[in-house]
Amino acid sequence: MKKAIVFAALAAVIFTPVSFAATQSEASSAITAAVLKNNEARKAGFEWRDTYKKQLGPAKKAYQKGDYDKAIKMANKAKSFAELGLIQASKASGFGLHN
């Protein structure tokens, strides 16, 4: 009987979904990192057209509304876009296509 109770308690702990809500600070940091990376891509001449309009802008709006999970998700996506733009810039300069 004790084993069944211990097993049931253990199963409840293992299979209970755990949700860690993002904090305001984490969202702010993610947005700041994305903006800085996007500025690098812009300086290199390879900012992706919709990075700000479809990712950073909505991330900032989500942040202002207190939806920090969404803000982080969108900011991280924008940062990825900027990083890909920087990769494009490095490849293009290697082929003499862009300064």
Indicate if the alpha-carbon torsion angle 19, 25, 27, 33 is positive or negative.
negative
Per-residue pLDDT of the chain (99 residues; tens, 9 = 90+): 555 555 555 555 455 454 578 899 999 999 999 999 999 999 999 999 999 999 999 999 999 999 999 999 999 999 999 999 999 999 987 665 555
Phi-psi region of 16 (alpha: psi -120 to 50; beta: other; left: phi over 0): beta
> Position of tokens 């700041």?
32
CA-nearest of 97, 1, 2 to 44 is: 97
Query: What backbone torsions phi and psi does residue 97 show, to the nearest 5 degrees?
Result: -90, -20
Taking the model in full, what pTM does it have? 0.74
Domains of the chain by residue range: 22-94
